[in-house]
Amino acid sequence: MRIKVSGLKRYTDRHGKVRLYHRASGTPIDPSLPGAEIAAEVARLNKLHTPPAPKAGTLGGLLASWKSSPSFTELAERTRSDYRKIMDYLKPIEGTPLTEMGPGFIAKLRDKTLAKKRAGFTNHMLAMLSSAFRHGLEYELVDANPCRQIAKARVTADRRRPNRAWTPEERKNVPAVAWPQLRLPLLLARTWGVRRGDIVTMPRSAYRDGWLEFRAGKNDALIRLPVLGELRREIEAAIAAAPSGDSTLLCLNSRGKPWTENGLSVQIDKFLKECRERGIMGPKGSIHGLRHSVGAELRAAGYDAEQRKRVLGHDTDEMAEHYAGSADVTGELIDMANVLEGRPKRERGLSNRARKGV
For residue range 175-224, what is the model confidence (pLDDT) as tens digits? 999 999 999 999 999 999 999 999 999 999 999 999 999 998 888 888 99
Where is average pLDDT lowest: 53-67, 108-122, 226-240, 326-340? 326-340
pLDDT digits (tens, 9 = 90+) for 300-344: 888 888 888 878 876 544 433 333 334 445 667 777 777 777 655
Q: What is the mean pLDDT of the chain?
A: 85
> Would you kindly state where each structural domain of the chain is located, as residue ranges?
8-49, 59-159, 168-341
Where is average pLDDT lowest: 29-38, 119-128, 299-308? 299-308
DSSP per-residue letters across 265-313: HHHHHHHHHHHHHHTSS-TT--TTHHHHHHHHHHHHTT--HHHHHHHHT
Mean pLDDT to the nearest integer, 287-295: 89
For the CA atoms of 196, 197, 200, 202, the dihedral, rounded to the nearest 10 degrees, stands at -110
Mean pLDDT to the nearest integer, 257-278: 93
Please name which of 256, 261, 287, 243 lies closest in space to residue 202, comparing C-alpha atoms.
261
Mean pLDDT to the nearest integer, 280-302: 88
Higher per-residue pLDDT: 332 or 273: 273
Res 325: pLDDT:
39
Query: What is the fold of 168-341?
Result: hpI Integrase; Chain A (1.10.443)
pLDDT digits (tens, 9 = 90+) for 65-110: 999 999 999 887 878 989 999 999 999 999 999 999 999 999 999 9
What is the strand order of the sheet 211-215 is part of?
207-208, 211-215, 222-226
What is the three-class DSSP state of 211? Answer: strand
Cα–Cα dist 223/219, whole Å: 11
Cα–Cα dist 65/280, whole Å: 51
The answer to whether the 59-159 and 168-341 domains have the same CATH topology is no
Query: What is the fold of 59-159?
Result: DNA polymerase; domain 1 (1.10.150)
Cα–Cα dist 145/98, whole Å: 10
CB 216 within 8 A of CB 228: no
Number of Cβ within 10 Å of residue 15's Cβ equals 6
Query: Which residues pair with residue 18 across a beta bridge?
Result: 12
Res 292: pLDDT:
87
DSSP per-residue letters across 64-105: HHHHTSHHHHTS-HHHHHHHHHHHHHTGGGTTSBGGG--HHH
Hey, what long-range contacts does 30-35 have (CB within 8 A, 24 or more apart)? Answer: 35/1, 35/2, 35/3, 35/5
Query: Which residues pair with residue 252 across a beta bridge?
Result: 258
